[in-house]
Amino acid sequence: MAASCIYDVFLSFSGVDTRKNFTAHLLAALERHDLYTFRDDTKLTRGEEIGPELLKAIEQSKVSIIIFSKSYASSRWCLDELVKIMNCKRRFGQIVIPIFYDIQPSDVRSQRGCYEEAFASHEKRFDMKMVKNWRSALKEAANLSGYDLQNMANGCESTFIETAVREVADKLNLTCLSVADYPVGIKPRVKKLSEFLKLGSNSDNVRIVAIWGIGGSGKTTIAKAMYNRIHRIHEFESSSFLANVGPTSMQPNGFVELQEKLLCDLRLDGNQRIRSQDYGIEVIKRRAWCRKVLLVLDDVDNIRQLRALAINRDLLRSGSIIIVTTRNLSSVSSLQVDEVYKPKELNREESLQLFSWHAFRRDQPVEDYEILSEEVVSYAKGLPLVLEILGSFLSDKTVPEWRSELKKLKKIPNNDVQGKLRLSFDSLDNEQRGLFLDIACFFLLEWTKTCQSKH
Ligand SMILES: Nc1ncnc2c1ncn2[C@@H]1O[C@H](COP(=O)(O)OP(=O)(O)OP(=O)(O)O)[C@@H](O)[C@H]1O
Ligand SMILES: [Mg+2]
């Protein structure tokens, strides 16, 4: 793939045949799936020659979708695009996907019927070498594995488009949320969560699962990984990951901001301005819940947040899934959750790995630091946040410095470390921070200093 890819998808199509119907629907579906698509809309108004801008856009795309329709080969412009696309496939390994729209793939491959006529006309007008290039690019592209509208989904365009776009998204392996700098042990935890969600059970009930645990235990991280995994695969009509619901709701106009983000993610904004929280509740009730949705509500800490987002299981369309992360189960009691998932702390091996990534930028301690690392890790009690903090804090220190810090750490009663970290550091107020430091959690203080000096 070219190093500087800007677009996920480049669409090559004949405007005469498909601009206002198939291509428009395909483009809308690509956008729904957050695939950033380049579509040249100026073919009819520009001269015959394909411009450098367009050639560059092809180079900067990860996937090219070619819509072969009846008039595709009559357009010199399309054929030039095609040559460039096949060139990018050879040079950068660009993924190329042909779609056969209202035309037999065999006619395209063998350049028969309207394709034969188009080439006969080109041969009269253009240089033979150029036409030969077009012919060979066409042959090569038409032989790639692609989609034939007549033979898929009984020719139903909307189902066909949805299937094709999902597969394109899978091919691109796009993850939409960054999960963690150094993910460790995510897979088994996501697997456990998917059991609670009963994924693949074909059940059509609404499913609501709470991820519950203390601050820094990895709730949000697991929710993000799960969201990345299922928001495309499953049959959701729309999805949204609302991060930091609690803290956002505390901001001025925070509830309305959350409502707008939800409607925007579900592609229901329609340029509608939410005038007030109550107005927003009604818009969500009326427009959002008639769809099958995947919704992640991250860090809910008060029942008012669920009310403002009109989250009510009786209103949700069957098959919808809600994942909510919280430190306080009573704040989500109104949801009548089906299951509560409490993520397990990282085990010794996982802890050492995560710590090492932050301390040494590799998955295990470097020489001379093995035993010291084991000792430090035992104090983190498997809490990812603490492992990150300790690792980052110690990363540039010498062995004597490690020893000295460990001595201080040993003064903290072993069982207390986790207890004192019931809230992640960011959420503590000044008074709590003082208390926190009094009990000698010097690592956090140093870490904060380091962070502040970076910003
Ligand atoms: N399995 C993991 N692998 C690597 N890093 C992780 C893992 N789990 C969590 N982390 C990291 O630990 C930190 C805390 O994780 P996270 O934000 O998910 O915790 P949380 O339980 O949501 O905390 P809070 O209650 O404060 O919202 C993050 O920086 C995250 O990247
Ligand atoms: Mg969180």
The reply to whether 59 and 126 lie within a common domain is: yes
Q: Which pLDDT tens digit goes with each residue over 258-314?
A: 999 998 888 775 556 788 999 999 999 988 898 889 999 999 999 999 999 999 999
Q: Whose CA is nearest to atom 4 of ligand 1?
A: 183
Q: Which pLDDT tens digit goes with each residue over 137-153?
A: 999 999 999 999 888 77
The reply to whether 361 and 386 lie within a common domain is: yes
**Which numbered atom of ligand 1 lies nearest the CA of 182?**
4
Mean pLDDT of 92-102: 92
* Spatial distance between the Cα atoms of 41 and 53, rounded to a whole number of angstroms: 13
**Which numbered atom of ligand 1 lies nearest the CA of 388?**
12
How many angstroms is it from 358 CA to the middle of ligand 1? 13
Q: Whose CA is nearest to atom 16 of ligand 1?
A: 218
- What is the per-residue pLDDT for 354? 96
Higher confidence at residue 427 or residue 187? 187
Give the H/E segment covering residue 353. helix 348-360
Q: Is the CB of 219 within 6 Å of ligand 1?
A: yes
| Secondary structure (H, E, C), 283-333 | HHHHHCCCCCEEEEECCCCCHHHHHHCCCCCCCCCCCCEEEEEECCHHHHH
Mean pLDDT of 345-360: 95
Output the six-digit token pair for 406. Answer: 């460990």
Q: Is residue 2 part of a domain?
A: no
Which ligand is closest in space to the CA of residue 217? 1
Q: Is the CB of 183 within 6 Å of ligand 1?
A: yes
Q: Is residue 434 part of a domain?
A: yes
How many angstroms is it from 354 CA to the middle of ligand 2? 18
Site to probe by mutation for ligand 1, drawn from 244, 385, 425, 426 as the one with most ligand atoms within 8 Å of Cβ, is 385
* Spatial distance between the Cα atoms of 301 and 310, rounded to a whole number of angstroms: 16
- What is the per-residue pLDDT for 34? 73
- Provide the pairing of β-strand 95-100 with 147-148: parallel
- What is the per-residue pLDDT for 256? 94
Q: Is the CB of 299 within 6 Å of ligand 1?
A: yes
Q: Of 172, 207, 230, which closes a domain?
A: 172
Which of 90-94, 170-174, 279-283, 387-391 is the least confident region? 170-174
The reply to whether 331 and 258 lie within a common domain is: yes
Q: Of 123, 141, 172, which closes a domain?
A: 172
Q: Between vectors from CA 365 to CA 363 and to CA 371, what angle results, nearest 5°?
A: 140
How many angstroms is it from 300 CA to the middle of ligand 2? 9
The reply to whether 27 and 107 lie within a common domain is: yes
The reply to whether 196 and 144 lie within a common domain is: no
- What is the per-residue pLDDT for 455? 43
Q: Is residue 298 part of a domain?
A: yes
Mean pLDDT of 350-367: 94
User: What CATH number corresponds to the domain at position 277?
Assistant: 3.40.50.300
The reply to whether 221 and 167 lie within a common domain is: no
The reply to whether 221 and 300 lie within a common domain is: yes
Q: Is the CB of 152 within 6 Å of ligand 1?
A: no
- What is the per-residue pLDDT for 440? 34
- What is the per-residue pLDDT for 448? 46
For 208, the 3-state DSSP assignment is strand
- What is the per-residue pLDDT for 427? 45
**Which residues are catalytic, by number?**
81
- What is the per-residue pLDDT for 445? 47
- Structural domain count of the chain: 3
User: What CATH number corresponds to the domain at position 109?
Assistant: 3.40.50.10140
How many angstroms is it from 444 CA to the middle of ligand 2? 18
Q: Is residue 24 part of a domain?
A: yes
Q: Is residue 178 part of a domain?
A: no
Q: Is residue 313 part of a domain?
A: yes
Contact predicate 86/137, CB 8 Å? yes
Q: Is the CB of 232 within 6 Å of ligand 1?
A: no
The reply to whether 284 and 395 lie within a common domain is: no
The reply to whether 196 and 320 lie within a common domain is: yes
The reply to whether 118 and 149 lie within a common domain is: yes
Buried b (16+ CB within 10 A) or exposed e, 321-360: bbbbbbbeeebbeebebbeebebebbeeebbbbbbbbbbb
Q: Which pLDDT tens digit goes with each residue over 429-448?
A: 555 444 444 433 544 444 44
- What is the per-residue pLDDT for 233? 65
Range of the domain at 155: 7-172
In the predicted model, what is the mean pLDDT of the chain? 84
Q: Of 341, 373, 389, which closes a domain?
A: 341
Strand order in the sheet with 339-341: 238-242, 293-297, 321-326, 207-212, 339-341
Mean pLDDT of 411-422: 49
The reply to whether 197 and 319 lie within a common domain is: yes
| Non-local CB neighbours of 9 within 8 Å, separated by 6+ positions | 30, 35, 36, 37, 38, 61, 62, 63, 64, 65, 168
Q: Is residue 179 part of a domain?
A: no
The reply to whether 228 and 279 lie within a common domain is: yes
Does residue 1 surpass a pLDDT of 60?
A: no
Q: Is the CB of 384 within 6 Å of ligand 1?
A: yes
For 408, the 3-state DSSP assignment is helix
How many angstroms is it from 424 CA to the middle of ligand 2? 9
How many angstroms is it from 76 CA to the middle of ligand 2? 54
Q: Whose CA is nearest to atom 26 of ligand 1?
A: 215
Higher confidence at residue 91 or residue 445? 91
Q: Which pLDDT tens digit goes with each residue over 26-74?
A: 998 888 777 888 877 654 444 556 778 888 899 999 999 999 999 999 9
pTM metric for this prediction: 0.69
Q: Is the CB of 385 within 6 Å of ligand 1?
A: yes
Q: Tokens 């989609």 identify what position?
A: 147
Q: Is the CB of 146 within 6 Å of ligand 1?
A: no
Q: Using CA of residue 259, residue 262, residue 268, residue 269, what is the dihedral sign?
A: positive
- What is the per-residue pLDDT for 310? 95
- What is the per-residue pLDDT for 2? 53
Q: Is residue 91 part of a domain?
A: yes
- What is the per-residue pLDDT for 439? 36
Q: How many CA atoms lie within 13 A of 69 on its CB side?
A: 17
Which ligand is closest in space to the CA of residue 343? 1
